[in-house]
Structure 1
Amino acid sequence: MLARAARPAFTALAAASLPAVRTAGFHSSGAQLATLRELEQRVKSVRNIEKITKSMKMIAATKLNKAQRAMAAAKAYGEANNEVFKNSEAVAPEGGRELFIVVSSDKGLCGGIHSSVSKRAKIEFAKVSPSAGDAHSSDGPSIVVLGDKPKAQLGRAMPNNLALSFNQIGKDVPTFSDAAAIADLIFKSGLEFDKISIIYNAYISAIAFESHIMEAYSEQALRNAPSFAAYEQEEDTTKDLAEFSLANAIFAALVEGHASEINSRRNAMDNASKNAGEMIQKLSMEYNRGRQAAITNELVDIVTGASAV
């Protein structure tokens, strides 16, 4: 209990300190409001991202059915090639020249599709070239790249071995005409090879893909195959067969790689949408806590001011 004589002095001191208390509360509240506005903007931004990723997931899911049907039909081309090379016992001569064709696309936002074939190409390239790790060396087989994404990755590792590149790949389901045009340009480019290794992404399941290699052989390798004579030919069509088999192999690899890419993009967008949803929950909780803290501080300021008066 304050002494009667001291009460006037305490009342004057409380009145003098009241403006300072209110001013401090105002600055604290302003900082909290700024933080709350930032959180609110972040929540809006993440919600917009979530809408985009969900839309991209729906588009990919719609395209996937078409890509899977095309893949099932195109696999027959690759299987027919394998039967011809297997039955004819075609092999590349020892020390023969090898050509790598890396199949991917120009688009991103599809997980590790592009890095999968690029890493496989580097591994296979290192097996046949002792200077695979030297970016300034032009030793080793030539590389043909389908798609800008793997071109950028392989261009940093082995720029002197990139012989040809094609873009505008993967906009829609590839056709045999696309594959035939690519094969024709490869033959017209003058690249010398006995064996071709086509590196592409094989569709394993709805959640998995894997880099595979499909082989094709040159006209000379087919002529020298031990059992190639079993195929009766009225005219010498070996050259046409070699070109047609390369187009078949490229077509099968393009279509299966396209299906793997669409599936991977759908999964990537699904994961991105889930991550955005979790971030929205976290930011919303943080925003609500900050808002509640600001309201509590305002109430404390009011009660303190009233008590001081």
Structure 2
Amino acid sequence: MFARSAIATRSAAPALNVIGQTRNMATLKEIQNRLKSITNISKITASMKMIASTKVTRAQRAMKIARIYGNVSSDFIEQAEVKKADGAKELVVVVSSDKGLCSGIHSSLSRHTRKYLADYPEAPVAIIGDKAKSQIQRLFAQNMTYSFNQIGSTIPAFDETSAIASVIISDKSIEFDNIKLVYNKFASAIAFETTEIECFPASQIVEAPGFKSYEVQEEILENLNEFLFANNLHWALVEGHAAEMAAKRTAMENATKNAGDIIQRLTLQYNRGRQTVITNELIEIITGASAL
């Protein structure tokens, strides 16, 4: 009986060691595969950060030019003392884009628009960009009147903006008086601010107290008003594009740092597991040699 139990104990011990080694090797293999995948992700995010950094420089250059024209339009409305008429119906134009991986750029626009639509549930909405569209239409699909995409894949051009402005203004099937532009204003390389621009109809501009100081003929007033809207829309598009590129660079930089932290932690875990396997093998060799 004692001999049988001793033989059974000797035969079971190597099997347990083999199982333990197999589990350790499987774990090390999983860690090694995960290290490779995260390293590849880190290379991709680093490349995307470099590309976004190049685009930020170009976007800021275009933004400075658009701001000059946009500030002129804002000064004209301010000096003319144009005020929103009581009971005026507004069309909300959300200036977004089609691309993601840029932090909370689109979520901020959608949240601001949903808050406004909660107070004015009958206001029509026109959306530029698929990202904001997918977020707004979940709750306010009935408010959506226009949807534009494939705009501003590079730096937005004034021709694209003029085409959008013409479509919105020329369509008489939707009733609205004023237009509210909702966009992301570029504040710094790491910050943006969701801002509004009010666009008024020609009738409200004529009735403004300070408009009489401007010598504008009535036959060109409508063209001036259309240009003001197109100019403000282009300003919002270029500002939003610059904010998007800056947010994308920041997001890719943070993703690269996070990938580096995970790689460092997994490397330490892999080395500890490998040392454990080597130590166990040495113990088995020394124990076997001592038994012999």
Shared topology, TM-score over 0.5?
yes
Q: What's 1:176 paired with?
A: 158
Correspondence list, 1:64-213, <5 A:
64-129=56-121, 140-190=122-172, 191-213=174-196
What SS class does the counterpart of residue 227 from structure 1 fall into? helix
Counterpart of 2:216 in structure 1: which amino acid? Q
Where structure 2 has 5 or more consecutive residues not aligned to the other structure, the ranges are: none
Structure 1 position 308 matched with structure 2 position 291 = yes
What SS class does the counterpart of residue 169 from structure 1 fall into? coil
What SS class does the counterpart of residue 236 from structure 1 fall into? helix
Would the aligned equivalents of 2:151 and 2:160 in 1 still touch at CA under 8 Å? no
> Which digits, 9 at most, give the CA deviation of each residue in 1:32-89, with x for residues without a partner?
1011000000000000000000000000001111000000000012111112211222
Q: Which has the larger radius of gyration?
A: 1
Equivalent pairs counted in the alignment come to 291
Q: What's 2:220 paired with?
A: 237
Bigger mean CA offset, 252-261 vs 167-176: 167-176
Q: What's 1:26 paired with?
A: 18
Counterpart of 1:120 in structure 2: which amino acid? H
Counterpart of 1:162 in structure 2: which amino acid? M
Instruction: Report the alpha carbon displacement of residue 14 of structure 1 after superposing the two structures with TM.
Output: 6.2
Bigger mean CA offset, 216-225 vs 107-116: 216-225
Cα distance in 1, alignment partners of residues 188 and 75 from structure 2? 25
Q: What's 1:46 paired with?
A: 38
Q: What's 2:255 paired with?
A: 272
- Say which of 201, 209, 213 aligns to 1:218: 201
Instruction: Report the alpha carbon displacement of residue 176 of structure 1 after superposing the two structures with TM.
Output: 1.1
Cα distance in 2, alignment partners of residues 187 and 65 from structure 1? 33
- Say which of 282, 291, 299 aligns to 2:282: 299
Instruction: Report the alpha carbon displacement of residue 260 of structure 1 after superposing the two structures with TM.
Output: 0.3
Bigger mean CA offset, 96-105 vs 189-198: 189-198
Counterpart of 2:131 in structure 1: which amino acid? K
Counterpart of 1:126 in structure 2: which amino acid? A
Cα distance in 2, alignment partners of residues 257 and 150 from structure 1? 13
Q: What's 1:262 paired with?
A: 245
Counterpart of 1:125 in structure 2: which amino acid? L
Q: Please tell me the root mean square deviation across aligned C-alpha atoms, in Å.
A: 1.9
Cα distance in 2, alignment partners of residues 189 and 56 from structure 1? 40
Counterpart of 2:254 in structure 1: which amino acid? N
Cα distance in 1, alignment partners of residues 130 and 170 from structure 2? 21
Cα distance in 2, alignment partners of residues 153 and 304 from structure 1? 65
Structure 1 position 289 matched with structure 2 position 281 = no
TM-score by length of 1: 0.89
Instruction: Report the alpha carbon displacement of residue 303 of structure 1 after superposing the two structures with TM.
Output: 2.4
Q: What's 1:5 paired with?
A: none
> Which digits, 9 at most, give the CA deviation of each residue in 1:116-141, with x for residues without a partner?
11111122333434xxxxxxxxxx21
What SS class does the counterpart of residue 162 from structure 2 fall into? helix
Bigger mean CA offset, 116-125 vs 164-173: 116-125
Bigger mean CA offset, 119-128 vs 207-216: 119-128
Instruction: Report the alpha carbon displacement of residue 297 of structure 1 after superposing the two structures with TM.
Output: 1.3
TM-score by length of 2: 0.94
